[in-house]
Structure formats: C-alpha cells, structure tokens
C-alpha cells in the first residue's frame, strides 16, 4: 500500500507513523505530508528517513490511503481533493464527523458500514472513542437510555504547545526561576483544572461536550440515547479518563456486565477493589486498549451503572483508531 500521512510532523501524526510501524501495516511507500513550512524536513519510519512533501505533490503521487491529522481547516480544504483523485481519506479532525454522508467509525463497533464508495471516513473525537468502545457491548445487552459523562483529559489532547506550557509551569515552580514557555490555555494548567475544552456554544456547553453527545448517537446508530457531558482539562501528560454514569432500559447483573466487557474487543477490565486496582492514565500510556474499572451499581435510581474509563488519547483516541480503520479497508478489499 502507498500511504500518505497528512500532518506527519505533529503530535498525532508522529504517533500515526509509530502505530503504522508497530502494527506492520503493509506500507510499500510512505508519503509524509505537512504544511509548506515543513516541506523538505525528514521524518523517520521503520529506521528509514523520508522527506516531507506538500499536499499537491502527495495527491499527484496517488497513494491508496491518506490518513489526515492536520486540523479541520486543512481537512475541509484538502480531503475532497484527495478523494476526487480516488484516494481514500481517514480524517482525524472534526470536519466531517457529523456530515450525514460521511461514515464516523470505531472499528470494534461499526466498521461494517464502510463501502468502496466511502472516500472520506471520519475518525471520532478521542473522548468519544474510548467511551463508546466500553458502552457499545452494554448497549446491545441492556439498551442505553441516558449517559452522564465527566472527562479528565490530558494536555496532549491540545498538542505540543500545551505540553510545553505545563512543563514550563512545572519547571518554574520547581526551580523557582522565570522560564519562557507558550500559553496554550488562558489559565495555568499545572496544579490546576480547567473545566473548558474548546469554545462555548449557545447552549452553555463546549464544542467538545457536544461532540460527545452527537458522535455517540451516530456511532451507536441510536438517536434516542440521551447524553450530557462535562469535559475538563487536567495536568496529565497522556491519557484521558472518564467518569460515566449510564442508565439502561433493562436491569443488569454486575457480574454479567464484567463478563461482557472482558469478552469485548479492545476492552480490558481492571476492577479489583481488594488490591486497589483500577485504570489510571499512566497505566494506559502507549497501549491501544480501553481500560474499564470502578464498576458499581448506582443505588439512587434503577438500572444505572457507574464506571471509570481510561485510554491513551493519542493512540486509541486518535492514531490507532485511524490505522485500524485503514486495516479494515485493506482486509475487506475496500481500497
């Protein structure tokens, strides 16, 4: 396969190259693509150096698949041009997720909707991906009525600038001296919690919160699921965590819930209270699975479950999910 990675020099693009190599995706020719400022720079893939090329040069090279992680504006402008050239695009931005003509895919849940006609495929939001991977098998078993989710999201979800801000603040507080660092957020993030991810919309929720509402329904193919979300940025380097309260139409047995999750692809149950074992971001770092724990009944209302969900947001939340979509396309002769 001739593969283009658009945004190859960014945090997620770098992770995409790493995941493609780790999973032995059948790359016969790699085209790292980035903005004009990065053209000519080199990236490494499987111990080889590759020069970064521009958008039009990548299109002219006719890759089979282009995996995008270059922001919504870039995707809106360039993904259709790649698609018009017959190239299948897997896009990690928010540009196409809620377009009714574009599939929004988490392979463990709904890859079956993909066809050869799908030339732009949307990769969901990181916080949505990990939640639906854990909830989809429970939806099949008990039918979800309502989800209340609060997220605890890593600075890596914002990008390198946010990582630099947090580490700059941390070094300043430790060393006690002035240091120069960028401000990705309008407030300090180290030793702080910011209850805003993305901009606020007219209803008082942020765009990130509304992504979780709308994307969950689309992926699960059920517009009747009610979702309310609060998304929060915390001073953690890698890995998003979520506190999820889910109400089902039908009652459940807690032991059966654990059995269902343990048998679900991409899910690891870590729920051993006696030994204080539960999912934490540091344990999910550089792993592709979604980790679930703190499973317990909500005694305040019927048929309701509390759970804690953790995943590496740069891997399953972005790069790995996109590569898994590409793997499905190859395995099913859709490219």
Gap between the Cα atoms of 315 and 208, Å rounded: 18
In this structure, the number of other CB atoms found within 10 A of the CB of residue 268 comes to 18
Residue 126 a catalytic site member: yes
Residue 17 a catalytic site member: no
- Cα→Cα distances 233→156, 188, 226, 242, 283, Å: 10, 11, 23, 11, 19
- Cα→Cα distances 131→93, 109, 227, 332, Å: 18, 12, 12, 26
Taking a C-beta distance cutoff of 8 angstroms, is the pair 278, 293 a contact?
A: yes
Given 97, 102, 233, 240, the catalytic residue = 240
* Phi, psi (deg, nearest 5) at residue 144: -80, 135
From the list 61, 28, 32, 62, the residue with the least C-alpha distance to 49 is: 32
Taking a C-beta distance cutoff of 8 angstroms, is the pair 83, 59 a contact?
A: no
Q: Is 7 left (phi over 0), alpha (psi -120 to 50) or beta?
A: left
User: Maximum distance among all alpha carbons in the chain?
Assistant: 60
Gap between the Cα atoms of 55 and 9, Å rounded: 14
> What's the number of CA atoms in the CB half-sphere (13 Å) around residue 92?
32
From the list 9, 16, 10, the residue with the least C-alpha distance to 67 is: 16
Gap between the Cα atoms of 169 and 235, Å rounded: 11
Given 126, 131, 144, 318, the catalytic residue = 126
Taking a C-beta distance cutoff of 8 angstroms, is the pair 198, 208 a contact?
A: yes
Active site residues: 126, 240
């Amino acid at each position: 396969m001739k593969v283009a990675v658009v945004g190859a020099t960014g945090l997620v693009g770098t992770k995409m190259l790493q995941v493609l190599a780790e999973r032995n995706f059948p790359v016969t020719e790699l085209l790292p693509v980035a903005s004009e400022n990065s053209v000519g720079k080199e990236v490494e893939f499987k111990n080889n150096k590759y020069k970064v090329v521009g958008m039009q040069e990548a299109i002219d090279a006719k890759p089979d698949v282009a995996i995008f992680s270059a922001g919504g504006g870039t995707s809106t402008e360039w993904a259709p041009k790649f698609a018009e050239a017959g190239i299948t695009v897997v896009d990690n931005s928010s540009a196409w997720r809620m377009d009714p003509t574009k599939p929004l895919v988490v392979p463990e849940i709904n890859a079956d909707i993909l066809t050869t006609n799908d030339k732009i495929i949307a990769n969901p939001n990181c916080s949505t991906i990990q939640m639906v991977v854990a909830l989809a098998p429970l939806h099949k078993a008990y039918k979800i009525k309502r989800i209340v989710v609060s997220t605890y999201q890593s600075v890596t979800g914002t990008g390198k600038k946010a990582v630099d801000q947090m580490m700059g603040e941390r070094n300043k507080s430790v060393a006690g001296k002035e240091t120069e660092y960028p401000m990705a957020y309008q407030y300090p993030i180290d030793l702080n919690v910011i209850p805003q991810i993305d901009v606020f919309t007219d209803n008082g929720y942020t765009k990130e919160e509304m992504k979780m509402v709308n994307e969950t329904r689309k992926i699960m193919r059920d517009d009747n699921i009610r979702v309310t979300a609060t998304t929060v940025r915390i001073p953690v380097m890698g890995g998003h965590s979520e506190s999820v309260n889910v109400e089902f139409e039908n009652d459940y047995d807690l032991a059966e819930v654990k059995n269902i999750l343990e048998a679900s692809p991409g899910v690891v149950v870590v729920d051993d209270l006696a030994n204080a074992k539960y999912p934490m971001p540091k344990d999910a770092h550089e792993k592709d699975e979604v980790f679930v724990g703190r499973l317990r009944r909500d005694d305040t209302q019927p048929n309701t479950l509390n759970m804690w969900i953790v995943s590496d947001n740069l891997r399953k939340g972005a790069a790995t999910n996109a590569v898994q979509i590409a793997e499905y396309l190859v395995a099913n002769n859709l490219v």
